Amino acid sequence: MTTSDLVTSLPALWLAVLATFCLAGVALAAALIRSGKYRPSPFVPQASSDGARTLLREFEKNGHSADAALVKWSPDTLRKILATELPDAQVIVVSNREPYIHNLKNDDVELVVPASGLVSALEPITRACAGTWIAYGGGSADRLVVDEQDRVAVPPDDPSYMLRRVWLSEAEHAGYYLGFANEGLWPLCHIAFTRPSFRASDWETYESVNRKFADAVVAEARNERPIVLVQDYHFALLPRMLREQLPEAIIITFWHIPWPNSEVFSICPWRERILDGLLGSSIIGFHTQFHCNNFIESVDRFLETRIEREDAAISYQGQTSLVHAYPISIEWPPAELGKVPPVARCRDSIRTRLGIADGVKLCVGVERLDYTKGIIDRFRALGELFDRHPEWIGKVTFLQIAAPSRGTLPDYERLHRECERCAEEINRRYGRDGYTPVLFVAEHHTRQQVYEIYRAADVCMVTSLHDGMNLVAKEFVAARDDEQGVLILSMFAGASKELLEALIVNPFDAATMGEMIRQALTMPPGEQRDRMRRMREIVRDNNVYRWAGSMLLDAARLRKRAETELAAINSSIETGNVVSLPERWRAMT
């Protein structure tokens, strides 16, 4: 055979090889499917195939945002979505914090419902499908009320789903929660200039605790296709662990805090493992598109993946994960509003209790005592206001309530002392008989008290140095059914992307922030009304049920697509349609 013969016969040779390969692939696919050993996964098909790419675009264009915007969102909407779009689905929520805590109090068991937006969003879903919530059992009486499988039916007055508790030793809690999650990942993800601490022992504990939770999810799954809603930075490794054990599960992981840029992320010694862990998810959610973009950049830099930026899809090790923004919110209307007095009475009672004289404006801050929240920066801005506009000395009082949080960690103890020192300094410089400019109350308040404070305020300051969303800003707006009050909001809080009618500030710029306080204090009631009205519409429409519902709708779409793929394969096998099968097989593996 001459060289030219060889060249002319090569295409025929290749065709023969390809045909044999395709037929072998078809035979393998058919055998696996018939034997029940393979079922298509609800992962998005590889974005490298044209068909898959089109599907992904449809998902983005027609699904997600369009549907979600047209619906009036309530717990009932969530129940309807479950009934119509996801019948028979088992929803499993995984979070560090449990929705019900049992504590011992004077030899009695007391039930505590932690105030949490996350609980109010995810509870209606878990209730509606009689699902399961898996969380760390940290209450002092938690062990007393569970059955042999560590489960307790909740809510106690109308049991409708199971709370499965995971027990952690003190060392596990210290390494996984306080150590890796809160001394490592928390400062890593927030630009607050607090150095993260990474200890190998914390990492090992974080990994083993994630494994413990993964085993609990697998044990609780009633079938091979649950919808698992993984919450937050405590569980970066869990999605991958789950994917290995429940390949057909739909896993939606929501990261409640910012995602840093790839340069900052690179300092984490286990960066590839964290990314690999998260890419076990079907969808990874953040509050803002900006944090989605940062995540995709980090993946691009540290893992061998294929990224379809237009589709926000990452294909990795034969699977594709979508990266979406789902801005979290609060329930609308907030339950607390039904329990608090009218605005005028809240104003009177709070002002009387704090001894605020007539004609003195009340500015408030409500936070967990955390260095990302910019509490000291608020105090500094107030100092700037007094220095530049001394006529305001004696005319404004700033009340900062700060719920103690992670108090055993040195950075948090230091912050507490620093806040006290700063407040004392301002009071020493600008205070006088009968007038204390800053009231710093580092105590936990009830939800009702928090809402009374929102309603009594002339101005609310949310000046986070960095914040995934910030629910205080949305709660303040929701609390003001009188359409009065001014919100000062950090440009580095996710909420600033939605609440555009707030006075937006840079918390690192104390002088300008001082000017903004003055602008807020002098804003005419008409302007306050216009701004507040618009912000209330936004929070009403984009409430927390929309946050949860958008994720459910996306889960339903992924599931339907997996079913369509399975049906197409089955019908191809039945009709002997060998031409289209290799194409389908390639699209799915």
- State the residues that interact with ligand GDG by CB under 6 A: 115, 117, 256-257, 328, 366-368, 401, 403, 444-447, 450, 467-472, 475
In order of 32, 95, 123, 275, the CA distances from 116 in angstroms are: 46, 12, 11, 27
Q: How far is the CB of 378 from ligand GDG (least distance, A)?
A: 14
Q: By C-beta, is 274 or 472 nearer to ligand GDG?
A: 472
Q: How far is the CB of 188 from ligand GDG (least distance, A)?
A: 14
Q: How far is the CB of 472 from ligand GDG (least distance, A)?
A: 4
Q: By C-beta, is 228 or 472 nearer to ligand GDG?
A: 472
Q: What is the DSSP string of 157-194?
A: TS--EEEEEE---HHHIIIIIIIIIIIIIHHHHS-S--
Q: How far is the CB of 49 from ligand GDG (least distance, A)?
A: 35
Q: By C-beta, is 361 or 447 nearer to ligand GDG?
A: 447
Q: How far is the CB of 480 from ligand GDG (least distance, A)?
A: 14
- Pairing label, strands 396-403, 486-490: unpaired
Q: By C-beta, is 265 or 476 nearer to ligand GDG?
A: 476
Q: By C-beta, is 52 or 539 nearer to ligand GDG?
A: 539
First to last CA, the chain: 39
Whether omega for the bond prior to residue 333 falls within 30 degrees of 0, making it cis, is: yes
Burial label for 283, CB within 10 Å (0-12, 13-18, 19+), is buried
Q: What is the DSSP string of 505-545?
A: E-TT-HHHHHHHHHHHHT--HHHHHHHHHHHHHHHHHT-HH
Rounded Cα–Cα distance for residues 105 and 108 (Å)? 5
Q: By C-beta, is 46 or 490 nearer to ligand GDG?
A: 490
Q: How far is the CB of 438 from ligand GDG (least distance, A)?
A: 17
Contact 490, 375 (CB under 8 A): no
Question: Which residues make beta-bridge pairs with 322?
Answer: 283, 313
Rounded Cα–Cα distance for residues 343 and 478 (Å)? 12
Q: How far is the CB of 128 from ligand GDG (least distance, A)?
A: 21
Residues contacting residue 203 through CB under 8 Å, at least 6 positions apart: 180, 184, 269, 270
Q: By C-beta, is 119 or 228 nearer to ligand GDG?
A: 119
Q: How far is the CB of 462 from ligand GDG (least distance, A)?
A: 8
Q: By C-beta, is 9 or 446 nearer to ligand GDG?
A: 446
Q: Hey, CA dihedral for 104, 106, 110, 112, is it positive or negative?
A: negative
